Structure 1
Amino acid sequence: MNRSEDGRSGVPPRPRAGEAARRSRPRAGESAGSRPRAGDSERPRAGDLAGVGAAMSADAPASGAHRSAGSRGAPRSSVPRPDPGQPLTATWDPPAETDLDHEGFVATYGWRAYAIPVLAILTVVLLVLTVRGGSADGSADKPSPDEGRDTQVAKESAPVGAPTVQIAEAALPVGALPPGGHFTRQAKKSFHVVPVKTSKKIGRGAQEYTYTVEVEDGLIATDFSGDNAFATMVDATLANRHSWIGGGKVSFKRVGAGQSPNLRISLTSTNTARELCGYQIKLESSCFYPPTNQVLLNEARWVRGAISFDGDIHSYRQYQINHEVGHGIGYAQHEPCKQNGKLAPIMMQQSFGVRNKDIMGLDPQMDANPALSCKPNPWPFP
C-alpha cells in the first residue's frame, strides 16, 4: 500500500523515520516564543526521546549526504538531537536573519535598549570633563588664575597678599580665628632650615623655583607636630598634580641650607607674621614677603585653620601653602568667587570667607558680585 492509499482509506499517514525529531526543533525564522518551555506539557518524556532516537537511527542512511566525502559509508551515531527548549542546550540550526523594528528591538533587549544610549552619553560627558580638566562636582573649569602672573614679584619691597586697608575685626566675623590648639605668639625672628635628604625636581614646567622649608626658632614642636611633619606637608602639597605644577608652567625643587632659594617657605609665630605681613586688620593672616623671599605661614592659622573650612585643618593647610606660594610665583592679585556654588579660586582670600560679601572689603578695587558664594578649595587645579 502506498502513502496516497493510506490517506484515502481514512487511516492517518504513518510518519517517516526521523520526522518526529525534526518536528520537535524550530525551523529557521521561527520565533523563540513558539518553542516549548521547560515544564510545558508538550515537553517530550523519556520514553518519547527513546523513540526519537530509534527513528533517527533508522533514518541515518538517508542523511548520509550531509557527511563529507571522506566519511561516506561510515556508520552515523544514533545520539538524538536535544530539544532546543531544554535548559543548557543550544539550537542546532542558526536562526534566520531578521530585521528588528523599534518594538521588536525593545521586546528583545528590554531595559538594555534604553541603557545603551544613556551610557554612551555619559561616556562622552566624562571624556569632555577629563580633557577640559574639570570635575564632576560642578567646580569651575579654570578656578586658578591663568593670566597676569608677575614673574618679577620678588623685586617688590612690600608684602604681597597682605590686607592694605583698615577694617574693624567685627566687620569680618568669618575671618576670626577658630578655637583650637596652642600656638606661639612671639618667637625669636630667626629661622632654621629643615634638612632635606634628597633634592629632585617636581613638575615639568620650564620655570623652576627652588625652595627651602624653614621653621622660626622658638616655636614649640608639639604645637605643629614638628619640623619633619611640616616639611612633609609642604613637599607633598607642592608635588600634588592639583597644585601649581598642574598648570605646566612651573616646577619646584627643594634644596637644603646654604643655598639661595627662590622661595623660603617658613612657619612663623603670630607676631612675626604681623610684623612682616602687616596688621591693618586685626585678624591672623599670612603673606609672601619679597625682601627675604619668604612665604610666611602664620602658625596660628596652621594650627587652627579657618571658619570657612569648617574644621578641615588638613585641607586648610594645603590651601595656606598653595595660596601663599601662588603669591610667591607671581599671582599677586586676589580673586573673588566667580560662580555661585562652585569651588573657590585658590587666590581667593578663603581665610576670611568664601562669600564675596565677606571679602570684598579687603580689596576695594575688586570687581565682584556680592551675592556669589563658593565652596572652600585648597587647589589651583582641582
Structure 2
Amino acid sequence: MLAALAVPAALIAAVVVLAPHWPGGDDTSASAAARPRPAAAPSTKPSRSPEPARSPAPARSPAPSVKPKPSPTRIPASGPGTFTAARADTSSSGQYAYRVEVEDGSGVDPDEAAARIAGILAAPRGWGEGGKRSFHRVASGPAGLVVRIATAATTDRICGKGGMNTHGEVNCRLYEKVMVNLKRWQTGSPEFDGPLNDYRALIINHEVGHWLGHGHETCPGKGRPAPAMMQQIYGLKGCVANAWPYDEKGTYLGGPSVP
C-alpha cells in the first residue's frame, strides 16, 4: 500500500535510501512459496512508499496517472511544515512506541486520525498478527515510529530528503517517519475498490510493513488477494484489492518479491 505505500496504490506503509512507494499498499515483498513473516525488529533503512523504497541507489519509477476521488472539502496543497502530535494512549502498552503527528492547517484532527491508526495497528489481520506484535502511542519522547499526515508539498519536501520523488501524490517511508500524503488520506485512490477507511488501512499497513523490513511484492495469482506490500497503485495484475497483510486465519497474504 497501502512503500514503510503517493499516487493511489491500489492507489490507496538504516541509513540507506529505499525505492519510493506509492499509496494504496504499493511496496516491496517476500517470496510467495515461503510464507513471509514480519521482521523481528523494525528496519532502520528508509523505504520509499508512495503508497508505495529501497536500495543504496534507488531506481525511480514514473508517477502513475491518478484521478483522485472527489473530496467534499478543499484539501490544502501546502502547509507550514509544523505538526501537532495526537495525545498519548495511556490505556495501551506494547513493544513499539509510535507517535502520530498531523500538519497544522491540514483540517485533520490529530486525535481522530490517531484513533484510526491505532485501530489499524491493533487489527487481528494487521501487523499485530493477533497479539504477536503490539504498538503503543506516545505524545512525546522517544518513538521508533512516527506517522505523519502532511500536505503534498510537505510530504514531497521531507521524502525528497531521502532521494524520493513523491510527485505531490504519494506517500513514503523515510527512516522512522511514515509520511502520509493528505490527499491520499482524504480521497483514497481510484485504483482501490473499497471504502476510504480500508484504503487508509492499506496506506498504514504498506508503510509500516516497510518499517518492519518488508519489501515490495506482486500478485501471487489471478483472483487472489493483492499483498499489502504490493504497489497496488500500478494495477492489481489479476489480484483482488486488499488492505491487510494477513487473512482471518492468520495466514500471511504475500506474493513474489519485486527486485
TM-score under structure 2 normalisation? 0.70
2-structure distance, mates of 1:277, 1:318: 20
User: Structure 1 residues 252, 191: CA separation in 2 closer, same or farther (over 3 Å shift)?
Assistant: same
| Paired residue type of 2:80 | K
- Report if the CA contact (8 A) 2:76-2:151 is conserved: yes
Which residue is equivalent to 1:218? 105
How many positions carry a matched residue from both structures? 206
Give yes or no for the alignment of 1:196 onto 2:84.
no
Superposition map of 1:324-363 within 5 A: 324-331=207-214, 333-355=215-237
Give yes or no for the alignment of 1:275 onto 2:157.
yes
2-structure distance, mates of 1:349, 1:185: 24
Q: Which has the higher helix share?
A: 1
User: Structure 1 residues 281, 160: CA separation in 2 closer, same or farther (over 3 Å shift)?
Assistant: closer
Q: CA deviation at 1:272?
A: 1.4
Which residue is equivalent to 2:170? 285
- Report if the CA contact (8 A) 1:199-1:254 is conserved: no
2-structure distance, mates of 1:281, 1:211: 23
2-structure distance, mates of 1:281, 1:268: 12
2-structure distance, mates of 1:266, 1:143: 34
Superposition map of 1:244-323 within 5 A: 244-246=127-129, 249-257=132-140, 259-278=141-160, 280=165, 282=167, 284-290=169-175, 293-310=176-193, 312-323=195-206
- Report if the CA contact (8 A) 1:161-1:334 is conserved: no
Unaligned runs of 5+ in 1: 1-141, 203-207, 356-372
Superposition map of 1:1-382 within 5 A: 146-147=36-37, 149=39, 151=41, 153-154=43-44, 156=45, 158-161=46-49, 164-169=58-63, 172-173=64-65, 175-181=66-72, 182-201=74-93, 208-221=95-108, 226-246=109-129, 249-257=132-140, 259-278=141-160, 280=165, 282=167, 284-290=169-175, 293-310=176-193, 312-331=195-214, 333-355=215-237, 373-382=238-247
User: Structure 1 residues 313, 260: CA separation in 2 closer, same or farther (over 3 Å shift)?
Assistant: same
Q: CA deviation at 1:253?
A: 1.4
Q: CA deviation at 1:159?
A: 4.3
- Report if the CA contact (8 A) 1:144-1:346 is conserved: no
User: Structure 1 residues 180, 239: CA separation in 2 closer, same or farther (over 3 Å shift)?
Assistant: same
- Report if the CA contact (8 A) 1:144-1:345 is conserved: no
2-structure distance, mates of 1:297, 1:180: 17
User: Structure 1 residues 185, 245: CA separation in 2 closer, same or farther (over 3 Å shift)?
Assistant: same
| Paired residue type of 1:374 | C
User: Structure 1 residues 166, 245: CA separation in 2 closer, same or farther (over 3 Å shift)?
Assistant: closer
Q: CA deviation at 1:335?
A: 0.5
Q: CA deviation at 1:255?
A: 1.6
Deviations 1:51-101, CA, capped at 9 Å, x for gaps = xxxxxxxxxxxxxxxxxxxxxxxxxxxxxxxxxxxxxxxxxxxxxxxxxxx
* 3-state SS in 2 of match to 1:184: coil
| Paired residue type of 1:315 | D
Unaligned runs of 5+ in 2: 1-31, 248-259
2-structure distance, mates of 1:337, 1:262: 30
1-structure distance, mates of 2:59, 2:180: 21
TM-score under structure 1 normalisation? 0.49
User: Structure 1 residues 197, 152: CA separation in 2 closer, same or farther (over 3 Å shift)?
Assistant: closer
- Report if the CA contact (8 A) 2:193-2:241 is conserved: no
| Paired residue type of 2:245 | P
Which residue is equivalent to 1:133? none
Which residue is equivalent to 1:362? none
* 3-state SS in 1 of match to 2:129: helix
* 3-state SS in 2 of match to 1:317: helix
- Report if the CA contact (8 A) 1:187-1:216 is conserved: yes
Instruction: Name the larger-Rg structure.
Output: 1
* 3-state SS in 1 of match to 2:96: strand
Q: CA deviation at 1:201?
A: 2.4
Q: Which has the higher contact order (CA 8 A, sep 6+)?
A: 2
1-structure distance, mates of 2:96, 2:36: 18
